[in-house]
Structure 1
């Protein structure tokens, strides 16, 4: 804040020396510093040189009267206090002085000492307030400028930090999607191991998984449960991986008592194999419950009624339908219509009616991702092409996942694999005009041909 002088400085302007002397004697005892001017021009010169606080001017002066003098003071030093002494009763001249000079007070001659001193004190107080107000306004302006600068800097920091977080989140999301894709790919590869065994059926687990997921979707179980059901379908026979080939080929109806006991443990073995994987905890429970029945006659826990999860029933109905056609259930291979009749016969016994109803609707659904693609051979694949459907070996094991982008190295590997194994790989390539974002490249899985 601007510091004021130790003593207020008062300027008296009058063309009569005696009056100036009288005014100086009046105010000196009150601690004011005093300057005297014999006319308007001399007063303006002093104002230009000294930090004057209050001007007391006579009205009638030669060359420049008080009204004109105070008008110039107002224009050049508007914060200086202005008091007019009028020595004659000229109302019009006083009014003109008030309007032109915007004086704070006018006092008639001869003046009253007390009135004049009060007028000077009031003018000084007004002057101090104006100076303080200006200082406060300047301080406020300076602080506002600093605050705006700080706000702008903070906004820039927040913006930069937000961009960093968005980039990090995008990277994390991309990494999560890649981990998720690789995890699902691993499940598909894992599920195909059993199908490499003698007696394994190419693509069987994938058919069960797809049908079970569509059934869960028809029941409105939610996206998370749909994915769990799909994963459980891919892995629902993983507990049979230790079965000898003869038992793996044998239908359930042809098994002896000892084999039935071993067969019934495959759900427990499957759960035990999956439990160490944190992301597959729910999937493991579905694998365990896939042979439970709502009448309580299932295994391994004999659950009944509402205790049998609907997700497990979705897996069970899809598995039973496919097993009836594949010869896993009985030595006879049932056609789709008879397999469906077997499922319907389990309504209220094995499955809830709503599960069977959803299953029948799921059978009519179009493939979830009906690709627009064209069929080519391994010799025709070129770098830059995008795989439209999963590529499987003739035994049904996953070789490459849909969405893979071929590069020169992979093209060479595909051709070498086809020639070495003596197989014809049917690849489905996305049409170039399809608006798709290719998935990131994935490593070539061992023993892996085309599947829709």
Structure 2
């Protein structure tokens, strides 16, 4: 059942709501705006969030409009409604006009009338939620296509993207971060700017093999190149900005503390992946980054845990031909063409694009088989 939060400073009103509506919804109540805020904060990262929040207007210390304004900051997806009597009607109308309130309900309100209003609010919630889910799935699909194109054009960059994505996903769960789909998209597209840089330049810079100053400068532009490509896509503005900041040292603007954490998770994860490519152990990377005092200690520890978990999580190794590969399996070694060309890097995942690439090479040039993989965990 849908979760509804009712806030009113009169216990008898809340008792009546529970008595009449508990069989239709999951009702939670609060006797003040402060208590309501505490409940919302406690449920901020719940997988079953409040769909509708209803508040009385006239309450001591924090009136309904003030409470709902704070509630909207905590749970922006919830549909907000306010109960009001005739005496406070002018201030209620102003609150409706100036905020994100869905409906004003006049007091006294019958149980049937309240239930009808809540049902309307739930339909609004479901409509907005469905539209957002469709948009996010569309964007997620586009992100996956771009990432798979990267796997065809630059296997090394795609390999770094795969490791970065796994680490950021695990770290985000540890830190209980929001903005999950945006952080996942930023990780998957974090290396897409490298398509504009010759692979041998990328290798010299990342391994420290005496790159020229011009090559170092060229490499440093890849986050901004990615930003400039992605900023044109609607709803990807924040993703593009986070990617542009992936080489930052912790000093970056953010809308709120949680966004700052997300930016730091991506920045620290990319540093861990680059360090591991140069054979630096994750614990050594953590000590080095901690010593700079430029990244959040909780983020460093979460990424360290994630990097260690990703490195040690491994299922049974299978030896397969290209034809027998299945989506989601993880390569346990670099896959080479018979000419010596690296087609896929160790640690990458079998995707549609990767399988097509390997199939085409197996048909036209030849691929060294068997290929060692593990099944997805």
Structure-1-length-normalised TM-score: 0.42
TM-score normalized by structure 2? Answer: 0.49
Q: Flag the structure with more relative contact order, 1 or 2, with Cα contacts below 8 A and sequence separation at least 6.
A: 2
